Amino acid sequence: METAEIARRFLSFFEKNGHTVVPSASLIAEDPTLLLVPAGMVPFKPFFLGQRTPPYATATSVQKCIRTKDIEEVGKTSRHATFFQMLGNFSFGSYFKEQAIPLAWELVTTPVEDGGFGIDPEKLWVTVYLDDDEAEQIWREKVGVRPERIQRMGMEENYWSMGVPGPCGPCSEIFYDRGPEFGSEGGPEADENRYIEIWNLVFMQYERGEGGDKTGFPILGDLPKKNIDTGLGLERLAAVLQGVDNIYETDIMGRVLHRAAELTGTRYGDKHEQDVMLRVVADHVRSAVMLVADGVKPGNEKAGYVLRRILRRSIRNLRLLSGDDAFLLHELTEVSIDAMKDIYPDLLDKADVVHGVIDTEERNFADTLRAGTALFGRAAERTRQAGGTTFSGSDAFQLHDTYGFPIDLTLEMADEQGLTVDEASFRELMQKQKDTAKADAKAKKLGNADISLYAQLLEGAGSTDFLGYSDAESESHVKGIVVGGVSAPAARAGEKVEIVLDRTPFYAESGGQLADTGTLTVDGRGVVDVEDVQKPIPGLFVHRGTVRSGEVVLDDVVHATIDTGRRHAIERSHSATHLIHSALRNALGPSAGQAGSENRPGQLRFDFTSDTALGGDRLAEVEEEVNTVLAGDIAVRTEEKSLEEALKMGALAMFGEKYGDRVRVVEMSDYSVELCGGTHVPSTARLGIVKLLGESSIGSGVRRVEAAVGVDAFKRLSKESALVGQLSEQLKTPREQLPERIDSMVSRLRAAEKEIEKLRAAQVLQAAESIAEGARRHGAALVVAASAPEGASGDDLRTLVLDVRGRLGEEEPVVVAMTAVPKDRPVVVIATNKAAQKAGIKAGDLVGVAARALGGGGGGKPDIAQGGGSDPSKVDEALRAVEARVAGA
């Protein structure tokens, strides 16, 4: 039975049994405690916790999931996967064990011709939690499972939670017996390789607190209702029903695996090590396709890091398998999309963007891999030469920070060469970088309030009615007040406050459009300055600001007024992004998809997927096209449609954005048709003018254009015109001849700088003779320990040291150690002649002594080595340390 048919049967069975079929949620979790969705119940978590009222009493779904906790086990076992699909049926207080258990057994054992999965009951075993007598009784008496086929297990095996605070409860699992060739008899407690879990029935009735992952956590109390959450692993069941040994050989992943074997010239089943790598590739390529399709882009943080990590593991395994640098991901991506399209038809619509993102990452990582591998090799060789077995944390950090090497890749490469990595030092350097880079994201999003507080406000006040498409002000009721992260009955002058209204004209930041600002006025009693509006959970508008005067009290009627000047300026920017998007697609093709935007008063930025820069000429063409269109005074029409209708009419959806059943379509003739919830100008002529300010890369395969709109664009052009006029006057050159004149001046300036640099370097070398004369004997060697002339660069220092060494000859051991302080960073270079090296005096050893005194490190060859540090005041101490070491030698 094909995987797609298994999913169809599951949904059909539970739909016939009164469950609402719910489409899979995005892999990007809405829950702020999670990065990606790791389990089928995650989209329903607010219902289980009683934070929100479910729109249905029972549900069923096929949920996309990602787990990276066990990524090192992928390919090594028969069941671990990064991306997997969880079939589930859910009850939100409607039914419990007595119905969930028989339903599961019925579907699993009903013959195929009658709509079930047709598994022989004699192949099935059941486990229950240690003290769950009720579940065991249902299995025995209502379902008819023999007592000897039911085993009790402890909390680690048969008690479910997500590993974090939230819902939990005992569970009961169904296992499939693969047969004696896979292990010993005795049921799941004897051998979980032979008896594999296919379905987990969670009897969710408690809420857990902070604590251990699977055990050791406190039970905080009962959930508002007893719920059912079941999880049937689609890939595991496919392996059982298709009669294959593991999930990698099923109809979907197997297609990617075998094509990877063909492309790399290997054969699955020949060698265990090769098989593991092929399984990793099959799993990771499919995972990457699904992540990109849900809007994730490769990056160095959060979900982007997960994607980059699995893509780079795939690329490296493919290159190890094939023995060359061929680019293979494009074809494997194509195979994966084709294999998954029956379950997720939208993959076909997103194929161009998916290919674009993955192809770009592969090309970029090819360069990264070459440069990074060379750096790794040099660092590993230094480690071995020094007699060590630990790859330094600073080298691992440089690989990550400069070359984009995930730490996991460095760990794998080090392990292959018999080295460990100083992970503690690496993590410390990473944390320092993160601390330095922290911005205002924390203050801007969820503030100090817990997400559950907003859920309670939504439950009590209901969704906020947004009036801002037509109204700039409204009379509204205060439905919630938050001060200092907790609900409050009132807020007074000077206090920072968050206010929930029953209806509002204020636009909440979303879709790249910044929030409105304005005021909330309580007649004769108080004024609140609204500085930001956010939607921490769907449907709830939270107005953030400061009570300017008086007070605001729960249930007050307020006059809500937005700053219309700011709103209109933002509308012009937002409408301009739609025009720029269309112009970019016309210039670059449909793969130039939107990857983010920010629309603020008078200015915008627009991020798009592209492998290459636009270049000045094409950027000018895009700008000209946009201004030609907006000058045509095209009416901007907005209309609400069903998502299906909108997509059929060709409306573009922002990649990775989540849409409901009803969407707003923004049309600018047939030039631009997009799904968008933002506010817009009534006609393109209102934009005035759009001036593109520049284009740049912001990440792998993602570029950014920035633009000024309306009055801001005019001001920018006016300033540029004035600047050109000043240059023309100062250089006594007509405007149209300025580029040639400036090019000529820059060329002459660079030539002069090179000549000055030659003269300066010559002056430094003139000191070589006097420096050589200062050589003194330390032990068996002549030693020069001196500082270079002021102004010497690192390159100058190296040249000077070699010159001085040459002047001292080869008759006896010679050591030349010199320091310089370019850009306030001390550098030391040490050179030894052949006689010194024969005597066991090596530059690579000595430079470590000097660099440690400078508060840094270094390395090199026996004849010449270089190091550096952070403390310029220690250069004399560093030179003395070298003299002492040579004297001791």
Annotated binding site for Zn(2+): 574, 578, 676, 680
SS3 content of the chain, % helix, strand, coil (to 5): 45, 25, 30
DSSP 8-class letter at 39: S
DSSP H or E stretch at residue 397: helix 393-403
Tokens coding 84: 């997997």
Amino acid at the residue 720: E
Mapping DSSP onto H, E and C, the string for 287-334 reads HHHHHHHCCCCCCCCHHHHHHHHHHHHHHHHHHHHHCCCCCCHHHHHH
DSSP H or E stretch at residue 151: strand 150-153
Q: Which residues contact 722 (CB under 8 A, 6 or more apart)?
A: none
Q: What is the full DSSP assignment across 683-725?
A: BGGGG--EEEEEEEEEETTEEEEEEEETHHHHHHHHHHHHHHH
Report CA-CA distances (Å) from 754 to 168, 689, 748, 859. Answer: 71, 44, 10, 30
Tell me how crowded residue 419 is: count the other CB atoms within 10 A of its CB. Answer: 18
**In whole angstroms, what is the distance from residue 739 CA to residue 732 CA?**
13
Q: Do 8 and 112 contact (CB within 8 A), yes or no?
A: no
**In whole angstroms, what is the distance from residue 708 CA to residue 686 CA?**
14
60: three-class secondary structure by DSSP: strand
493: three-class secondary structure by DSSP: coil
**In whole angstroms, what is the distance from residue 205 CA to residue 91 CA?**
11
Binding-site annotation: residue ranges: 574, 578, 676, 680
**In whole angstroms, what is the distance from residue 325 CA to residue 131 CA?**
57
Beta bridge mates, 817:
785, 830
Per-residue b or e along 178-190, where b marks 16 or more CB atoms closer than 10 Å to that residue's CB: beeeeeeeebbee
Tell me how crowded residue 376 is: count the other CB atoms within 10 A of its CB. Answer: 23
Residues recorded for the chain: 889
Amino acid at the residue 662: R
- Helix residue ranges, H only, 614-695: 615-631, 643-648
DSSP 8-class letter at 513: B
**In whole angstroms, what is the distance from residue 341 CA to residue 345 CA?**
5
The two beta strands, 776-778 and 702-709, are unpaired
Q: Which residue has the tokens 């090819």?
A: 366
The two beta strands, 827-832 and 814-820, are antiparallel
Mapping DSSP onto H, E and C, the string for 243-280 reads CCCCHHHCHHHHHHHHHHHHHHCCCCCCCHHHHHHHHH
Beta bridge mates, 637:
667
Tokens coding 419: 């080295």
Give me the numbers of helices (H) and strands (E) for the chain, helices first please.
27, 34
